[in-house]
Structure 1
């Protein structure tokens, strides 16, 4: 601003100093220079800050339809343009706070002199500040101040502060139009009940936009600026009415309204809603979308987005959340396990496959998202749960064996009897551990039938040929990325779970002993349904800033994790789980499931968790039922599932019923799409097929025989977590 601003600044100092001396309220010594120096540290804001005028604004998390599901803020403020504020509101605030607003140049010496004369002992405690000066003070208080000391300084009864405000106000008046200053002021100030700015206040008190405010409504809000608590229309309706009518009379005196209009406005009821409120802050206010919202914030944080900028940044985060899919998923979950059921969590993740993106469609749990008793703010559907997913992991052993051309889905593989001692399945002391089956099986099965019936011994024996490390790597490639990212010891910088599984040659890996999340399992299925293409499970469609400009978010690139021919063939290899003899056949029948699906069940040691994963060409997902308490106990299936001493939960029970009900409802009305065709190269393999023995009369699978346990229930598994 150079010399011109220097001259104006000096003029302001002279005028204000003259007012102070005339009122004999300031022990003036040292001249204008000393007074000028005194103001240098008296305010937080600067000319540049004020001229930019950027205010903290609400960040909105939206679902795929554009509906806001969560609001992130420190101050609930919705800045609006001048034409979105009613003329009545502008006139009311000018009439009561600064009737000479359009006449002065930001500082009003007449008003300042009048206020200073009323201050008896030198404290600048009485107002008559111009709206522009008030804007400066409030900007310091609500925007620039970062510490309690700075906030106290912004309202301190100091002449130096008053002078600094006047100086900055004159500068703003020179740089901005009166309408711009007025608009900024109305977007900034606090109106009580958590509402910052006139748009938030109009919505909170009257349920309307600021553009629709009437004369009595505008007068009420304008009157509250002086003291939102004292003139709170809910707590102090008489005081609020009296103050409102003072504003109405000021409007009449200034000629903004007629005598008749003033009388009508003064006779109007306050008309505020019974409980003025603003949207709840954060994901806790998102209702059933709370877990999805929480995942969005976690995803942004992992992507390197500075999430501390969200609360006041005014961003719009459009997500991939399908509200209809969420509602149907939540209904299916609660229909199996009520939100208040002790010890039993039921969680589901739904992902849409694709070659370019795997979009998360819904995340839900029976627990209400929150911090109150019986609620949970842990990311139940997307954070790993410690009990594991059991025999779902047999998918990785099958995929590895197919990739190594050892087997195809039609290859007949041996099924050793329960109690089989594998040379690679040992405890910490190096001694072999017998592998148990939950139920009786034929002595040999095709790989497809083995995936459907799930004998443990068959897949431990298959690992003898594939090796453990390739199976662990396959799990990470297909979607269990947390295994490679999470330290086995829990201490950062130490070996990951995947590394330890490989280093210790943990044959129990195929039995699903590691911590697992429903979302990662759903993404594994999405990878298979995307012809072997892995993409990060993304909850984002777009992120834009307050101007509508797109904001870049770093996301991992999609990659071909598995030969498309293997992925497509394995989809058919997993297609018998819902058929007769499959471990989820009863659940599919109970829920009326009638679509082709690639699915797998799993149950863990001591029945503390059970899982079901499935994929159609349109949607992939996973359901896990597990004990989410600090002292996990076995779970018994029932109506609803409950804690019990022995346990009998299986992946084909509550988890499968939850999944089939949710996906059946979501996909209702959509075409029934067949699974992709198989590739002849992956129907057979180099391991010689063995002859299938006829089943004994009491053998077979289904609800009359137990599902897979994922662990040997009779022996401790050193690699397990449950």
Structure 2
């Protein structure tokens, strides 16, 4: 090896000894007088070290934005935003070099002059006062610490030993040989830790002064430069006096180096720190949209295109310096949260939840629930996200009650059932489960009785009145017409995540016995608003990399799942609920809207799912204690209001209306499309006249015409007892439809 290389590396080894404290024990001076053999041995030790090091990519902070580009929160392992040197105020590198390595551009990997100065200072004091490490050496140490993946690697990166110093020096030499000084300085400014979770100069500038790194003043730069030696001890938020003293030392160095005049420097010393500290929020907790934020992250973690494993995907999201653009509309979120919080307190034995979805895109505009994110039960906090499907929020959902009737109604319309055709709907009726058709190849249901009772009205009902009045016996009969398979499949196509056919695809399906989330129901009802076009819920539109280029774009995923005429018909039916005479007439908006109520057994959950052509909102209030048990809403006080008997229209409905009314001016006016006469009246055949006939003769005439006769209730009439006095439906009906015979009680 050439002598000059031996000498250079031997000198480096002396510097290593000085920093590691060998000089403090008197070992450095003998080293200076070592023979050439010893020098060659030391050089050989250096030569045996690796030739290069993996610098890797610095971890950067990910920003999560709303639909208008406003910051929701940040996500980071290390709070950092990488900035190239030309986007950093020149004050900052000058201040840093003044205090840490003023000869940086003059020396190589190690500043021999600075190292010898440190050696003498350490020897004089009898202890290690400083190591004289260059910026390059400091960058090496920082890189090794950040890059450690195991406890052993982390321990090796910070151990106090000559071996570590030799290793760092070898890497520093490699850096100087393979990168120019500006690259090293830029990397260091972005890698350094500035305390209080701020990594890199941009994060530090934003955190302490709320300015960009490009705009740092001399005083601000001097304070930050002084912090790198001891980020905790010089943290201005905890130790302002120490931070000022350290800043003034940096300013004095700048004066002596000629970067700042004496007069300007003294003025800088007289000024206060001028802090404008900004919080470093990490994650969704405490943000303005905790549960939509959390849903968006869980949704992205399920995207295998972002990484082979969930751990890889999480690392990308947490360290990749990404910009995640969500579909959140802050004004909608504010309206939703205000409504939910005003109707259900966090500490009630109930959960209020409200989801808003845009028809035609699937964009999730807002998600709000009464229990805020956290683990303090006394404050009513919970990490369960009741708003979204279980795979995204860990909550199992709640039964949806009569809001499921729309799937049967839409299936019946798809099959040609006229909107005005009536069906006899008595207060109570027992159905045989085997009379409900299952999916092909699944076999018939057991021959068991299924008693169904109405909780609202009874009598002859059409799709208009049977839906608006939520008549159970009407819809059980409708499901006999459609079978169970078609509405079950339609619900899935409309966004309801049904995964257990054995429990869900049963005759009771129409009464909403399956567990669902508000987001699923908002997505499903948005399908009607979009005239039969279903769009998957979408919380994220785009991911942008740190270079400003799109990594992934998420387009709307939509499919026409029913005829537009079917959707128009359902809209015409459901808008009646909010019109005069409807159960939800007090919930009407300033714009055309439609909706459906839902209440489950024992009033444990109530729903109101309503929508316009531009916004669908599902409102749910469910009784649930903090031990995971369902409880009735009856007799509870919800945010101070006593609930004697809960229902969808009176409890969940007002929460829906308050949120929707707050944004209906932003939603805008758009009317529904009126269904055609053929859909309303149908294209059936005429029902034969059978008044005055016996039940047997009337039944025979109906069968001959292609109908299925059944005997309904007996009524008072002028006909003799036992004579048929009319049918439901009368007029026209679909061929093959059930026609109910009304029979006279007595001769009037």
* TM-score between the two structures when normalised by the length of structure 1: 0.83
In structure 2, the CA distance between the partners of 1:571 and 1:440, relative to structure 1 (3 Å rule), is closer
Cα contact 2:433–2:447 (8 A) shared by 1:
no
Question: 1:212 deviation in Å?
Answer: 2.6
SS in 2 for 1:473: helix
Query: What's the CA shift string for 1:178-222, capped at 9, x where partnerless?
Result: 333222211111111111111222222223222232222222221
Cα contact 1:111–1:128 (8 A) shared by 2:
yes
Question: 1:96 deviation in Å?
Answer: 0.7
Question: 1:568 deviation in Å?
Answer: 2.1
Match of 1:334 in 2: 341
1: CA distance, partners of 2:666 / 2:524: 26
Superposed CA RMSD in Å reads 3.3
Cα contact 2:434–2:446 (8 A) shared by 1:
no
**What is the aligned length?**
654
SS in 1 for 2:548: coil
Question: 1:501 deviation in Å?
Answer: 2.8
Match of 2:633 in 1: 635
Cα contact 2:425–2:474 (8 A) shared by 1:
yes
The answer to whether 1:157 aligns with 2:160 is yes
2: CA distance, partners of 1:587 / 1:466: 31
1: CA distance, partners of 2:144 / 2:561: 54
Question: 1:155 deviation in Å?
Answer: 2.0
Query: What's the CA shift string for 1:93-151, capped at 9, x where partnerless?
Result: 10110011111123222223343456679999842111111111112212x11223222
Question: 1:666 deviation in Å?
Answer: 0.8
SS in 2 for 1:652: helix
Match of 2:704 in 1: none
The answer to whether 1:284 aligns with 2:303 is no
Query: What's the CA shift string for 1:597-626, capped at 9, x where partnerless?
Result: 231110001111011112211111211111
Aligned runs of 1:223-622 on 2, under 5 Å?
223-273=226-276, 276-287=277-288, 289-304=289-304, 305=306, 306-338=313-345, 340-354=346-360, 357-373=361-377, 374-383=380-389, 385-405=396-416, 407-424=417-434, 431-441=448-458, 443-480=459-496, 482-484=497-499, 497-502=500-505, 506-552=506-552, 557-588=557-588, 593-622=589-618
Question: 1:648 deviation in Å?
Answer: 1.6
Cα contact 1:219–1:247 (8 A) shared by 2:
yes
Cα contact 2:7–2:39 (8 A) shared by 1:
no
Find 1:147's aligned residue among 137, 147, 150: 150
SS in 1 for 2:83: coil
Query: What's the CA shift string for 1:270-314, capped at 9, x where partnerless?
Result: 3334xx453211010313x11110111111122223233111110
Query: What's the CA shift string for 1:50-100, capped at 9, x where partnerless?
Result: 3x6x31111111001101101010111122222332222211110110011
In structure 2, the CA distance between the partners of 1:572 and 1:104, relative to structure 1 (3 Å rule), is same
Cα contact 2:121–2:129 (8 A) shared by 1:
no
Question: 1:380 deviation in Å?
Answer: 1.9
2: CA distance, partners of 1:117 / 1:688: 110
Query: What's the CA shift string for 1:328-381, capped at 9, x where partnerless?
Result: 12222222223x241121111111111xx3111111112223333312222222
Cα contact 2:201–2:213 (8 A) shared by 1:
yes
Cα contact 1:60–1:316 (8 A) shared by 2:
yes
2: CA distance, partners of 1:25 / 1:377: 61
Question: 1:240 deviation in Å?
Answer: 2.3
2: CA distance, partners of 1:688 / 1:634: 47
Cα contact 2:75–2:283 (8 A) shared by 1:
yes
Structure 1, unaligned runs of 5 or more? 41-45, 485-496, 697-722
Aligned runs of 1:639-658 on 2, under 5 Å?
640=638, 648-658=645-655
Query: What's the CA shift string for 1:535-557, capped at 9, x where partnerless?
Result: 21101221111111111267784
Cα contact 1:300–1:553 (8 A) shared by 2:
no
2: CA distance, partners of 1:618 / 1:473: 25
2: CA distance, partners of 1:245 / 1:114: 22
In structure 2, the CA distance between the partners of 1:10 and 1:349, relative to structure 1 (3 Å rule), is farther
2: CA distance, partners of 1:318 / 1:10: 56
Cα contact 1:39–1:160 (8 A) shared by 2:
no
1: CA distance, partners of 2:406 / 2:666: 30
Query: What's the CA shift string for 1:459-505, capped at 9, x where partnerless?
Result: 1122122222222111111110x213xxxxxxxxxxxx235433xxx
In structure 2, the CA distance between the partners of 1:172 and 1:451, relative to structure 1 (3 Å rule), is same
Question: 1:38 deviation in Å?
Answer: 5.6
Question: 1:416 deviation in Å?
Answer: 2.5
2: CA distance, partners of 1:403 / 1:541: 33
Question: 1:577 deviation in Å?
Answer: 1.0
The answer to whether 1:86 aligns with 2:86 is no
Cα contact 1:424–1:464 (8 A) shared by 2:
no
Question: 1:585 deviation in Å?
Answer: 2.1
Question: 1:452 deviation in Å?
Answer: 0.5
Deviates more, 1:566-575 or 1:156-165: 156-165
Cα contact 1:572–1:678 (8 A) shared by 2:
yes
* TM-score between the two structures when normalised by the length of structure 2: 0.80
Question: 1:431 deviation in Å?
Answer: 4.1
Larger radius of gyration: 2
In structure 2, the CA distance between the partners of 1:685 and 1:126, relative to structure 1 (3 Å rule), is same
1: CA distance, partners of 2:400 / 2:557: 27
Match of 1:702 in 2: none
Cα contact 2:479–2:507 (8 A) shared by 1:
yes
Query: What's the CA shift string for 1:422-461, capped at 9, x where partnerless?
Result: 44599x99642321211332x1111011111001111112
SS in 2 for 1:294: helix
Aligned runs of 1:95-106 on 2, under 5 Å?
95-106=98-109
Question: 1:392 deviation in Å?
Answer: 0.4
Question: 1:10 deviation in Å?
Answer: 7.2
Cα contact 1:303–1:553 (8 A) shared by 2:
no
In structure 2, the CA distance between the partners of 1:237 and 1:461, relative to structure 1 (3 Å rule), is same
2: CA distance, partners of 1:156 / 1:422: 78
Q: After the TM superposition, which segments of 4 or more aligned residues of structure 1 sit over 6 Å from their partners?
A: 6-11, 120-125, 641-644, 686-693
In structure 2, the CA distance between the partners of 1:114 and 1:463, relative to structure 1 (3 Å rule), is same
1: CA distance, partners of 2:610 / 2:256: 73
Question: 1:409 deviation in Å?
Answer: 1.9
In structure 2, the CA distance between the partners of 1:457 and 1:686, relative to structure 1 (3 Å rule), is farther
